[in-house]
């Protein structure tokens, strides 16, 4: 039982913080508000790639750092803290990791080194619905060794920017998972307007042919799906942790400066106590999120722990967002002050892959079936 960061973890977090502090500012983020430009800072992305951070959990043989999901999660926490405009969750968590874990050797060697270098951008359709449910909507039929796909994915992050999408498909009674080339003429992308301005598209497939070489798993894709969605949910929790912690620090520092009735408003017990409750909330989220990352990093069963972390991510995100806005007064919602972007991301992380209510229902069903009790 070790809650401390190892030397490598400290270094990785320090490196991420330094790059993000240098390159991300309210001014740089303002360029993407209201979809004025796709929320993707390619220069920052390049710097992060050169530092090796997006490939932290990719094996060294594919050009990664060879570290674990824990280390990738700590990097994602820093992204949450800075609400950085880069596709780490889409590219790394919902595509590179499952490819590394499940794809045949030939496909791994073809895609992963280029993806680790950033020459190929990947995304996956694992971010909607509930982490424990099978959301597969695409239909596949076999035709001369290829799979022909039809159907629609509701919201895929960075689909327009990506070269390849990792998509689960229904194939007869089974689930397959395939890579789809976004330049295929059968692929139609419809840009969505999301609450947090991150690029997302509805992806419509009409008779898209996937050759056997691009099939990641031909059947029994449920395992890949569950494996990936648990990691996506844990990544959202890590991102939520960074965002919530930063919003809280902003509010603590604002209330310590802001004077009313001749004293800092932090000296009013009602304000101090609301911030103390946020502190406890963020600590709970930190412990649950880190536990989920730690277990997943060791390839341990973590369904219960991920569900609990996502319940906290939803509850804490909601409470911290509104408490921090409230103690800021009008300043908190003024777009010239940086808190408002955090509120949008706290909302996105809360809702993606199952809200607290949905996760409570899912965990409750498992408990009623005798699973997930205390050991």
**Binding segment for another protein among 204-212, 284-292, 317-325, 346-354 (CB under 8 A)?**
284-292
Q: Which of 304, 329, 338, 347 binds another protein (CB under 8 A)?
A: 304
Query: Parallel, antiparallel, or unpaired: how do β-strands 174-181 and 138-143 relate?
Result: unpaired
130 binds another protein (CB under 8 A): no
Beta bridge partners of 169: 138, 176
User: Who's near 111: CB < 8 A, 6+ residues apart?
Assistant: 99, 103, 120, 122, 164, 179
260 binds another protein (CB under 8 A): no
**Binding segment for another protein among 134-142, 204-212, 330-338, 366-374 (CB under 8 A)?**
366-374
14 binds another protein (CB under 8 A): no
* Nearest Cα residue to 323 out of 260, 272, 264, 263: 272
Contact criterion met (CB below 8 Å) for 277 and 323: yes
Tokens of 104: 């045949």
6 binds another protein (CB under 8 A): yes
Q: How far is the CB of 157 from another protein (least distance, A)?
A: 27
Rg of the chain over Cα atoms, rounded to whole angstroms, equals 21
Tokens of 165: 């999408």
Q: Which of 252, 344, 346, 353 binds another protein (CB under 8 A)?
A: 252
Residues in the chain, how many? 375
Q: Which of 35, 279, 322, 340 binds another protein (CB under 8 A)?
A: 279
319 binds another protein (CB under 8 A): no
Rounded CA gap, 51 and 78, in Å? 15
Residues in the interface with another protein (CB under 8 A) total: 56
**CB nearer to another protein: pick between 67 and 95:** 67
Beta bridge partners of 122: 164
Q: Which of 24, 56, 70, 238 binds another protein (CB under 8 A)?
A: 70
Contact criterion met (CB below 8 Å) for 251 and 271: no
**Binding segment for another protein among 4-12, 84-92, 141-149, 191-199 (CB under 8 A)?**
4-12
300 binds another protein (CB under 8 A): yes
Q: How far is the CB of 287 from another protein (least distance, A)?
A: 4
61 binds another protein (CB under 8 A): no
**Binding segment for another protein among 24-32, 144-152, 154-162, 258-266 (CB under 8 A)?**
258-266
User: Who's near 294: CB < 8 A, 6+ residues apart?
Assistant: 70
Surface-to-core class of residue 148, CB atoms within 10 Å of its CB (0-12 exposed, 13-18 middle, 19+ buried): middle
**CB nearer to another protein: pick between 239 and 356:** 356
370 binds another protein (CB under 8 A): yes
340 binds another protein (CB under 8 A): no
Q: How far is CA 21 from the centre of its chain?
A: 20
Q: How far is the CB of 121 from another protein (least distance, A)?
A: 29
DSSP assignment of 100-143 equals HHHS-HHHHHHHHHHHHHTSS-EEES-SSS-TTS----EEEEEE
* Nearest Cα residue to 122 out of 87, 146, 76, 171: 87
**Binding segment for another protein among 19-27, 186-194, 273-281, 338-346 (CB under 8 A)?**
273-281
DSSP assignment of 292-313 equals HHHHHHTT---HHHHHHHHHHH
**CB nearer to another protein: pick between 22 and 283:** 283
Q: Which of 207, 213, 280, 333 binds another protein (CB under 8 A)?
A: 280
363 binds another protein (CB under 8 A): yes
- Contact residues toward another protein (CB under 8 A) are 1-6, 9, 70, 248-249, 252, 255-256, 263-264, 266-269, 272-273, 275-277, 279-280, 283-284, 287-288, 290-291, 293-295, 298, 300, 304-305, 307-308, 311-312, 359-365, 367-368, 370, 372-374
């Amino acid at each position: 039982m070790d809650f401390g960061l190892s030397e490598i973890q400290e270094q990785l977090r320090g490196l991420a913080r330094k790059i993000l502090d240098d390159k991300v500012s309210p001014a740089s983020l303002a360029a993407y508000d209201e979809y004025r430009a796709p929320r993707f800072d390619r220069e920052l992305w390049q710097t992060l790639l050169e530092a090796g951070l997006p490939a932290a959990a990719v094996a060294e043989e594919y050009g990664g750092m060879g570290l674990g999901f824990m280390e990738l999660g700590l990097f994602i926490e820093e992204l949450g803290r800075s609400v950085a405009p880069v596709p780490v969750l889409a590219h790394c968590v919902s595509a590179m990791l499952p490819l590394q874990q499940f794809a045949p050797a030939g496909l791994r060697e073809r895609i992963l080194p280029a993806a680790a270098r950033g020459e190929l951008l990947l995304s996956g359709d694992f971010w909607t619905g509930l982490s424990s449910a099978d959301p597969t909507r695409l239909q596949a039929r076999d035709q001369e060794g290829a799979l022909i796909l039809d159907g629609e994915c509701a919201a895929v992050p960075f689909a327009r920017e990506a070269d390849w999408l990792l998509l689960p498909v229904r194939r007869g009674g089974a689930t397959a998972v395939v890579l789809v080339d976004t330049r295929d003429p059968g692929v139609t992308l419809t840009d969505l307007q999301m609450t947090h301005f991150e690029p997302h598209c509805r992806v419509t497939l009409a008779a898209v042919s996937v050759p056997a070489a691009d099939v990641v798993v031909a059947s029994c894709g449920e395992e890949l799906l569950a494996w990936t969605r648990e990691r996506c949910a844990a990544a959202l929790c890590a991102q939520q942790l960074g965002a919530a912690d930063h919003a809280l620090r902003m509010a603590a520092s604002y209330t310590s400066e802001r004077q009313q009735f001749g004293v800092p408003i932090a000296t009013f017990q009602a304000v101090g106590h609301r911030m103390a409750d946020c502190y406890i909330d963020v600590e709970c989220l930190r412990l649950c999120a880190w536990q989920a990352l730690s277990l997943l990093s060791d390839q341990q069963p973590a369904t219960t722990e991920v569900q609990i972390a996502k319940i906290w991510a939803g509850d804490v995100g909601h409470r911290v967002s509104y408490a921090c806005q409230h103690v800021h007064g009008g300043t908190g919602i003024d777009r010239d002050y940086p808190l408002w972007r955090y509120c949008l991301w706290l909302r996105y992380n809360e809702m993606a892959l199952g809200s607290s209510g949905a996760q409570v229902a899912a965990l409750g069903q498992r408990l009623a079936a005798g699973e997930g009790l205390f050991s």
